[in-house]
């Protein structure tokens, strides 16, 4: 089965300048006893992924893994954040194509490319 969640991260004066994560859309599939694989496009600081992992672990899945197309482990703000499957470890650059965009441009390119911004 496949399900989707929607999260929003934000900074603000009410958070003391720290990043917060809000769950906008939750799963409809019960996770208890299920093998769950979180699929992420990019893992950067790890704040959003860490929030989602903790939330899902409270639901007692049989297993919980993480897959990411792009990983930037040197930007992590969360210690010991497991990313079990990584497509590419990439530098601190903007990428476009394959669904990634800069200012709503170049999302439709059939491959990943470094953006010239």
Q: CA–CA separation, 100 vs 41, rounded Å?
A: 9
Concerning whether 44 is annotated as a catalytic residue, the answer is yes
Catalytic hit among 41, 44, 79, 111:
44
Taking the C-alpha atoms of 69, 72, 78 and 79 in order, what is their torsion angle to the nearest 10 degrees? 100
Q: Please give the full DSSP string across 82-104, using - where no structure is assigned.
A: ---EEEEE--S--EEBTTB-BTT
Q: Give the catalytic positions in this structure.
A: 44
């Amino acid at each position: 089965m496949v399900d989707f969640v929607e999260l929003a991260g934000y900074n603000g004066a009410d958070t003391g300048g720290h990043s917060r994560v809000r769950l906008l859309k939750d799963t409809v599939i019960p996770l208890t006893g299920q093998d769950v694989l979180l699929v992420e496009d990019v893992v950067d600081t790890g704040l959003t992924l860490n929030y989602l992992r903790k939330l899902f672990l409270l639901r007692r899945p049989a297993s919980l893994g993480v897959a990411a197309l792009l990983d930037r482990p040197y930007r992590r703000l969360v210690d010991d954040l497991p990313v079990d499957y990584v497509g590419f470890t990439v530098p601190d650059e903007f990428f476009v194509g394959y669904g990634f965009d800069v200012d709503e441009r170049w999302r439709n390119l059939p491959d990943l490319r470094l953006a010239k911004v």
